[in-house]
Amino acid sequence: MAHALITGGAGFIGSHLAEALLAAGHEVTIIDDLSTGRFENVEHLTADKRFKYAIEDIRNETVMDRLVSECDLIYHLAAAVGVNLIVSAPIDTISINVSGTETVLRIARRYRRKVLLASTSEIYGKSTKVPFSEEDDRVMGPTTRSRWSYAASKALDEFLALAYYREVGLPVVIFRLFNTVGPRQRGRYGMVIPRFVQWALRGEPIQVYGDGKQSRCFTNVRDVVQAIIGLADAPQAIGQVYNIGSTEEITIYDLAVRIREKTGSESEIVLVPYERAYAKGFEDMRRRVPDISKIRRTIGWEPTIPLDETWDEVIA
């Protein structure tokens, strides 16, 4: 049994990962500054003596040194996430993602701890080569548009992690998450399904940004957690990058229609221009579909939970 440290452990994905690891018999420590995570996500775990938590910024080196020294491996999920947050707070986005990751990697090197680094499908930028493969070229927007600061910061995280692996032999595994959905996810920072569900349940207009023809692939958080744990257990995954996501594609407008049907809502579906929702000149990815053949070959993983079941969980 291992002792896992999860950064961003009170967040949506981090809390589900903590649950799964505890259920498998491991010890779990989380660190989270609660800037986007919520203590309520993990409060039910505090009765377990194998669970510990620290409410602190991962850039606090004193705290991180102690936590890393006590653990066996690190799941680094802490990051500034969500389109709303990225557009409104680019300084924090860049600082938390880059400085935080550099702190984690530097201290992990000190104690020779394996690091599982969470990255993002945003890495692929405006590329139109679908599905996205791990070795594909990336197409980034201009630096004058802060919307791309998140993608750029996570790309730097990946470069840095792979540099630690190649130069000093630090065991790292990078996984790029596509749209992950499930209970505890909030719409506050731009996550689309919880926002649509909330509006539908309240009978408020469901706001679809842009023309609604942009498409995404949504994966249940329980499937995602199994993929992350599987990569942690696979020695051949060290030094590699993997996509984690569903290949079931749906347009955002069709998503709004399906959620309205699922909730029995009479909400109107309205199209909202991007510049009104975010900022003038906002750019979006038209399609975001992963190639998951690499992770399938490595650990035999693919998503198993259908989208209908995921929506039911979020609605409940």
What length does the chain have?
316
Amino acid at position 74, single letter: I
Q: How many other CB atoms sit within 10 Å of the CB of residue 130?
A: 17
Tokens of 171: 């065991």
Tokens of 98: 């880059």
Is residue 313 within 8 Å of 182, Cβ to Cβ?
Answer: yes
Question: Helix or strand or coil: residue 40?
Answer: helix
Catalytic residue numbers read 150
Q: How many other CB atoms sit within 10 Å of the CB of residue 88?
A: 15
Alpha helices in 59-99 (DSSP H): 61-70, 83-88, 90-94
Tokens of 276: 């009104």
Cα(211)–Cα(209) distance, integer angstroms: 7
Tokens of 199: 């509006």
Is residue 268 within 8 Å of 201, Cβ to Cβ?
Answer: no
Sequential DSSP letters for 68-120: HHH-SEEEE-----SHHHHHH-HHHHHIIIIIHHHHHHHHHHHHT-EEEEEEE
Beta pairing class for 206-209 and 215-220: unpaired
Residue 270: what are its φ and ψ, rounded to 5°? Answer: -120, 145
Instruction: Find where tokens 């990569």 sit.
Output: 231
Q: From residue 54, how far is each of 18, 63, 82 by CA, in Å?
A: 14, 8, 23
Cα(114)–Cα(68) distance, integer angstroms: 10
